[in-house]
Amino acid sequence: QQQVKQSPQSLIVQKGGIPIINCAYENTAFDYFPWYQQFPGKGPALLIAIRPDVSEKKEGRFTISFNKSAKQFSLHIMDSQPGDSATYFCAASSGGNEKLTFGTGTRLTIIP
Partner 1 sequence: DAGITQSPRHKVTETGTPVTLRCHQTENHRYMYWYRQDPGHGLRLIHYSYGVKDTDKGEVSDGYSVSRSKTEDFLLTLESATSSQTSVYFCAIRQDWDRGGNEQFFGPGTRLTVL
Q: What residues line the site for partner 1 (CB under 8 A)?
A: 6, 32, 34, 36, 41-46, 49, 89, 91, 93, 98-100, 102-105
SS3 66: strand
Nearer to partner 1, 99 or 112 (CB): 99
* Amino acid at residue number 20: I
Q: Minimum distance from CB of 94 to partner 1 (Å)?
A: 9
Q: Minimum distance from CB of 93 to partner 1 (Å)?
A: 5
CA–CA gap between residue 110 and residue 100 (Å, rounded): 28
Q: Minimum distance from CB of 17 to partner 1 (Å)?
A: 25
Nearer to partner 1, 17 or 52 (CB): 52
Nearer to partner 1, 19 or 44 (CB): 44
CA–CA gap between residue 94 and residue 30 (Å, rounded): 4
- C-alpha distances (whole Å) from 16 to each of 61, 72, 80, 83, 105 are 11, 25, 5, 12, 22
